[in-house]
Structure 1
Amino acid sequence: MRRNSRILILTSSYGDGHLQAARSLKQAFHMQGTDEVLIMDLMKEAHPVLNKISTTIYITSMLTSQFGFDYYGWSYYMTRNTKTHLGLGRFFNNLGKKKLKEAVERVRPDAIISTFPYGAVPELCAQIGIPAYTVVTDFTLHSRWVHPNINKYYVATEDLKEELMSIGFAGPQIEVSGIPIRQAFDHAAPANTNKFRGVLSPERRTILILAGSYGVLGNVDEMIDSLQNVPDTQLVVVCGRNEKLERKLRSKFGGRPHCHIFGFVEDIHELMAASSCIVTKAGGLTLSEALSLKVPIFIYKPFAGQEKENANFLARKGAALISHQMEELSGQIRQLLADGAGYGELMQRMSQLQRKSAAEYIIQDMLGSMRQTAPLTGLQH
Structure 2
Amino acid sequence: MPKKKRILILSEGFGAGHTQAAYALSDSLRLLAPHLQTRVLELGTFLHPTLAPLVIGAYRKTVATQPKLYGLVYRSQDRKALNRLTQLALHRICYAQTAAIIRQLRPDTIVCTHPFPSAVISRLKRFGLEVPLCTVITDYDAHGTWVSREVNTYLVSTADVKHKLESLGIPSGSVQVTGIPVHPNFWQPHNRDDLRTRFGLQRLPTVLVMGGGWGLLQDRKFLHHLTLWREQIQLVLCLGSNQASLRTLTEDSRFRHPNIRLLGFTKEVSQWMDVSDLLITKPGGMTCTEGLAKGIPMLFHKPIPGQEERNLQYFTQMGFGEVIRSAETIDVWFRQLVDHFPDIAHARSSRPAGGGPAYSPARCSQAIMELVR
Give the TM-score taking structure 2 as reference length.
0.86
- The structure-2 alpha-carbon separation of the partners of 1:167 and 1:78, relative to structure 1 and needing over 3 Å to count, comes to closer
Q: CA deviation at 1:355?
A: 2.3
| Number of residue equivalences | 359
Q: Is the 8 A contact 1:195 1:270 kept in 2?
A: no
- The structure-2 alpha-carbon separation of the partners of 1:50 and 1:246, relative to structure 1 and needing over 3 Å to count, comes to same
Which of 345, 348, 366 aligns to 1:361? It is: 366
Q: Which segments of 5 or more consecutive residues in structure 1 lack a partner in the other structure?
A: 369-381
- Give the counterpart letter for 2:245 in structure 1: L
Q: CA deviation at 1:181?
A: 0.9
User: Does residue 246 of structure 1 match 2:246?
Assistant: yes
Describe the superposition over 1:338-361 as per-residue Cα deviations: whole angstroms up to 9, x where unpaired: 5799998xx99x855322224532
- Give the counterpart letter for 1:152 in structure 2: T
Q: CA deviation at 1:207?
A: 0.9
User: Does residue 82 of structure 1 match 2:76?
Assistant: no
Alignment-derived partner of residue 62 in structure 1: 63
User: Does residue 117 of structure 1 match 2:115?
Assistant: yes
Q: Which segments of 5 or more consecutive residues in structure 2 lack a partner in the other structure?
A: none
Alignment-derived partner of residue 289 in structure 1: 290
Describe the superposition over 1:75-129 as per-residue Cα deviations: whole angstroms up to 9, x where unpaired: 2222222245x54564466352222112112212212110111312123135221
Structure 1: how far apart are the matches of 2:178 and 2:235?
33
Q: CA deviation at 1:255?
A: 2.6
Alignment-derived partner of residue 132 in structure 2: 131
Structure 2: how far apart are the matches of 1:26 and 1:123?
24
Structure 1: how far apart are the matches of 2:168 and 2:24?
29
Map 1:1-381; keep pairs closer than 5 Å: 3-31=3-31, 32-65=33-66, 70-84=68-82, 86-88=83-85, 90-91=87-88, 94=91, 96-118=94-116, 119-126=119-126, 127-194=128-195, 198-202=199-203, 204-212=204-212, 214=213, 216-230=215-229, 232-252=232-252, 253-334=254-335, 351-368=356-373
Q: CA deviation at 1:48?
A: 4.4
Structure 2: how far apart are the matches of 1:326 and 1:288?
25
Q: What's the secondary structure of 1:353's corresponding residue? A: coil
Give the TM-score taking structure 1 as reference length.
0.84
Describe the superposition over 1:319-373 as per-residue Cα deviations: whole angstroms up to 9, x where unpaired: 22112434444445445775799998xx99x8553222245323322223xxxxx
Structure 2: how far apart are the matches of 1:96 and 1:77?
26
| RMSD (Å), alpha carbons | 2.9
Q: CA deviation at 1:10?
A: 0.8
Q: Is the 8 A contact 1:196 1:274 kept in 2?
A: no
- The structure-2 alpha-carbon separation of the partners of 1:225 and 1:165, relative to structure 1 and needing over 3 Å to count, comes to same
Structure 1: how far apart are the matches of 2:288 and 2:244?
25
Q: Bigger CA drift: 354-363 or 131-140?
A: 354-363
- The structure-2 alpha-carbon separation of the partners of 1:79 and 1:166, relative to structure 1 and needing over 3 Å to count, comes to closer
Structure 2: how far apart are the matches of 1:229 and 1:260?
15
Q: What's the secondary structure of 2:104's corresponding residue? A: helix
- The structure-2 alpha-carbon separation of the partners of 1:265 and 1:280, relative to structure 1 and needing over 3 Å to count, comes to same
Structure 2: how far apart are the matches of 1:277 and 1:130?
43
Query: Percent sequence identity over matched residues?
Result: 25
Structure 2: how far apart are the matches of 1:160 and 1:63?
26
Structure 1: how far apart are the matches of 2:184 and 2:313?
27
- The structure-2 alpha-carbon separation of the partners of 1:335 and 1:188, relative to structure 1 and needing over 3 Å to count, comes to closer
Q: What's the secondary structure of 1:303's corresponding residue? A: coil
Q: CA deviation at 1:284?
A: 0.9
Q: Bigger CA drift: 303-312 or 332-341?
A: 332-341
Q: CA deviation at 1:169?
A: 2.7
- Give the counterpart letter for 1:74 in structure 2: L
Structure 2: how far apart are the matches of 1:97 and 1:196?
52
Q: CA deviation at 1:50?
A: 4.6
- Give the counterpart letter for 1:14 in structure 2: F
Q: Bigger CA drift: 149-158 or 165-174?
A: 165-174
Q: CA deviation at 1:9?
A: 1.1
Structure 1 moving runs of 4+ over 6 Å: 339-344
Q: What's the secondary structure of 1:29's corresponding residue? A: helix
Structure 2: how far apart are the matches of 1:156 and 1:196?
36
Q: CA deviation at 1:28?
A: 2.6
Q: Is the 8 A contact 2:279 2:299 kept in 1?
A: yes
Q: Is the 8 A contact 2:205 2:337 kept in 1?
A: no
Q: Bigger CA drift: 303-312 or 56-65?
A: 56-65
Q: Bigger CA drift: 29-38 or 138-147?
A: 29-38
